[in-house]
Structure 1
């Protein structure tokens, strides 16, 4: 079966940024010519950092938005990040979607940290303070924006739609697709019961933030996905 194996981003200094992801997030890194690959061992996608980027503010009208790193213990992860001098706000439960925190890497790319369990539901001993980010981290989502989800779904017909999440008060909804044969526990793809299940998947999902009718521009940093 195919898998979503990489996100290609154009950055200013691939080696330096790869070093940040290794030191701060515990990723494994290796050089690939002028590019660097950073990621976790497992089924999830890597970051493929290519040269030629220019540091500019990343705005909401761009196609590319963020990566999401899913992990068992967000509080432990945030404590570790702060000890390393990384600015990260206090985690919070965002609606009925997840317990999360947001930050940026040194080149301004957005990162979402998302706990497997909702606030108050994390089992005792879920994290190990001796391991990077408390252990068990993986790239759970690569997030793109779209103004027309009705066109995106058939364009990705080889992927399975796993979850739809309405965030109407913020003007968008979320759609999660993956290369998988798995079926969510609740057949209603809008069911809240599917969400903690989704954050535990070992593979990377392609997340679309659907802003109906939005006119989006291509991000100069986003160079596409690697499918293998």
Structure 2
């Protein structure tokens, strides 16, 4: 079981493909045109991390809001690398405007940039800055910096409902992280049964381990107290540009999870699966 596709709408295929293929060094795994929509499946490698699916449709209107946002549900996806400084230098050499790196105490060393449509991308280092382990010291391209699609990040209102929902789908909560400076908690869930360094979800020992995973994790951001804001709802519709996540979990999907049977495309072609929504309304497709 795994997250297989992180799905985004795009407005200009030429600009997006140039950015992801030529500047980030991703591979075009497959592409399809169906029902007047173009689907592009991209990946850094044939490893365990999810594909990035870019979808272009002439008649679709969407608006990508700048991040961080108080109202947008979709936040970002994260690319993890062993050496952030080196990876960032390669991106700058490709003409990408990328923010200065900073460390969120006891969480991660990271920086941010955007793609041609304005989607936020986080670059996150495998290790904290004070970690003395030997790291990748040189490379000739961003692809040689060993990037992986590490996190798909969503904001949620009712964290208990969200955790119950994703646990029912077969995910495990492997880490909970309090961000003191931003009045929020981060929750990291995985389909993989690999054991983290500690069974304590609040342990600092788990955190660097997360950024080193070769597969894609789900990150849920919960602002403390937002569950009590009557009438508030994050924008989670496809008008945000985020189309949802695909998950290879259908054979393990519990009978009490209600969805709609549907056909859709994955990198290998058309499949039959189930479409459903999580408690905040994010679209998920299971096959």
CA contact (8 A) 2:21 2:27 kept: yes
Match of 1:115 in 2: 125
Structure 2: how far apart are the matches of 1:152 and 1:20?
A: 33
2:234 is aligned with 1:216:
yes
Question: Corresponding residue for 1:165?
Answer: 177
Match of 1:46 in 2: 51
Where relative contact order (Cα < 8 A, 6+ residues apart) is larger, the structure is: 1
Residue 94 of structure 1 is matched in structure 2 by 104
Closer, same or farther: CA 73–53 of 1 in aligned 2, 3 Å: farther
Is structure 2 residue 188 aligned with structure 1 residue 188?
A: no
1:56: how far off? Answer: 3.9
C-alpha offsets along residues 80-128 of structure 1, whole Å, 9 cap, x if unaligned? 1111111112212111101101111111000010000111325334243
Going from structure 1 to structure 2, the CA distance change for 1:21 and 1:127 (only over 3 Å counts) comes to: farther
Measured on the aligned residues, the alpha-carbon RMSD in Å equals 1.7
Larger Cα-atom Rg: 2
Q: How many residues of Structure 1 are paired with residues of Structure 2 in the alignment?
A: 227
Tell me the CA shift for residue 142 of structure 1: 0.3
Q: Against the structure 1 CA distance between its residues 125 and 163, is the aligned structure 2 distance closer, same or farther, given a 3 Å change threshold?
A: closer
Give, in whole Å, the separation in 2 of the partners of 1:170 and 1:98: 14
Whole-Å separation in 1 of the counterparts to 2:74 and 2:159: 15
Could you report, residue by residue, the CA deviation over 1:163-198 in whole angstroms, capped at 9, with x for unpaired residues?
100013312110011111112111211111110111
- Spell out the pairing of 1:54-203 with structure 2 (5 A cutoff): 54-58=62-66, 59-121=69-131, 123-132=133-142, 134-157=144-167, 158-203=170-215
Q: SS of 2:213's equivalent?
A: coil
The runs of 5 or more residues in structure 1 that have no matched partner are none
CA distance in 1, matches of 2:108, 2:159: 22
The corresponding residue for 1:10 is 9
Which whole-Å CA distance do the structure 1 matches of 2:44 and 2:143 have between them? 12
SS of aligned partner of 2:78: strand
In structure 1, how many angstroms separate the alpha carbons of the residues matched to 2:210 and 2:53? Answer: 24
The TM-score with structure 1 as length reference comes to 0.93
Asked if the contact 1:88–1:101 (Cα under 8 Å) also holds between the matched residues in 2, the reply is yes
1:204 equivalent to 2:216? Answer: yes
